[in-house]
A and B are shown apart, each in its own frame.
Chain A
Amino acid sequence: MQRFIVLTLNGLTEGSIYAAMALALVMIWRATQVVNFAQGAMAMFTTYLALFSLERGAPYWMAFLVALLCGLLLGGVIERVLVRPVESAPPLNIVILTLGVLLVLEAVAPMIFGGQIRSFPAAFSIVGIKLGSLQVPFSAFDLFTLASVVFLMVLLLLLFQKTDLGLRMRASAFNAEVSRLLGIRVGRMLTLGWALASLVGALSGLLIAPTLLLYPTYMDQVLVFGFTGAILGGLDSPPGAVVGGLAMGFSLSYVGGYFGSDLETVGALVILVAVLMVRPRGLFTLRAQRVV
Chain B
Amino acid sequence: MLEITNLTVAYGPIVALDNVSFSVADGSITAVLGANGAGKTTLVRTISGLVRSRAGSVRLDGRDISRLAPEAIARLGIGHVPEGRGVLAELTVEENLRLGGLSRADRADRQAALSEAYELFMPLAQRRHLPAATLSGGERQMLSIARALAARPRVLLLDEPSLGLAGRVLTQIMARIKQLVEDRKLSVLLIEQNARSALSVADDAVVLSLGRIVAHDRAQRLASEEGLRHAYLGF
Please state if A178 and B103 are interface contacts (CB–CB under 8 Å).
Answer: no
**A117 nearest CB across to chain B (Å):** 45
Within 8 A of B (CB), among A161-218: 164, 167-168, 170-171, 174-175, 177-186
How many residues on A have C-beta within 8 angstroms of the other chain's C-beta atoms? 18
A22-37 contact mask (Cβ, 8 Å, vs B): 1 or 0: 0000000000000000
Among the listed B75, B88, B98, which residue makes an inter-chain contact with A178, where contact means beta carbons less than 8 Å apart? B88
Inter-chain contacts of B69 with A (CB < 8 A): 180
Q: Which of B88-135 contact A (CB under 8 A)?
A: 88-91, 95, 98-100, 102-103
Bound form: Cα–Cα A177–B151 in Å? 17
Main secondary structure of the interface of A (DSSP, over half): helix
Task: Indicate if A287 sits at the interface (CB-CB under 8 A).
Answer: yes
The proximity string for A residues 209-240 relative to B, scoring 1 for CB distances below 8 Å and 0 otherwise, is 00000000000000000000000000000000
State whether A184 touches B88 (Cβ < 8 A).
no
Whether the Cβ atoms of B70 and A181 lie closer than 8 Å is yes
From the candidates A168, A175, A177, A178, name the one contacting B102 in the complex (CB within 8 A): A168
Q: How far is the CB of B10 from chain A (nearest CB, A)?
A: 20
Name the distance in Å between A240's Cβ and chain B's nearest Cβ: 14
Contact of A171 among B80, B82, B91 (CB under 8 A): B91
- Closest chain B residue, CB of each to CB of A30: B90
Contact call A171/B99, Cβ cutoff below 8 A: yes
Instruction: Pick from A170, A174, A181, A186: contact of B80, CB below 8 A.
Output: A181
Q: Residue among B70, B74, B80, B98 with the most chain A CB within 10 A?
A: B70
* Contact between chains at B91 and A184 (CB < 8 Å): no
Of the residues B49, B90, B100, contact of A182 by C-beta under 8 Å: B100
**Contact indicator B50/A182 (Cβ below 8 Å):** no
Most-contacted residue by chain B among A175, A182, A287 (CB, 10 A): A182
Task: Please determine whether B48 and A181 come into contact, CB atoms closer than 8 angstroms.
Answer: yes
List, in ascending order, chain A residues with CB within 8 A of B103's CB: 182-183
- Is B234 an interface position by the 8 A CB rule? no
Task: Please tell me if the beta carbons of B71 and A175 are within 8 angstroms of each other in the complex.
Answer: no
Contact of B74 among A167, A180, A287 (CB under 8 A): A180
A186 to B74, CA, bound (A): 13
Interchain CB contact under 8 A, A167 and B71: no
Q: Is the CB of B98 within 8 A of A167?
A: yes
Alpha-carbon distance A170/B86, docked complex (angstroms): 15
Residues of A contacting B88 in the complex (Cβ-Cβ under 8 angstroms): 171, 174-175, 178-179
Q: Residue B154 at the A interface, CB < 8 A?
A: no
Render B76-90 as a binary contact track against A, CB cut-off 8 A, 1 for contact: 000110100111111
The distance in angstroms between the C-alpha atoms of A170 and B90, with both chains bound, is 9
**A175-B88, A181-B48 are contacts. A186–B99 as well, Cβ < 8 Å?**
no
Residues B50 and A177 in contact, CB atoms below 8 Å apart: yes
| A-binding residues in B (CB < 8 A) | 48-50, 69-71, 74-75, 79-80, 82, 85-91, 95, 98-100, 102-103, 147, 151
Closest 3 CB pairs of A and B: A183-B74, A180-B70, A183-B75
Q: A180-B50, A181-B80 are in contact. List 6 more A-B contacts (CB 8 A).
A: A170-B90, A181-B70, A182-B100, A183-B103, A184-B71, A287-B90
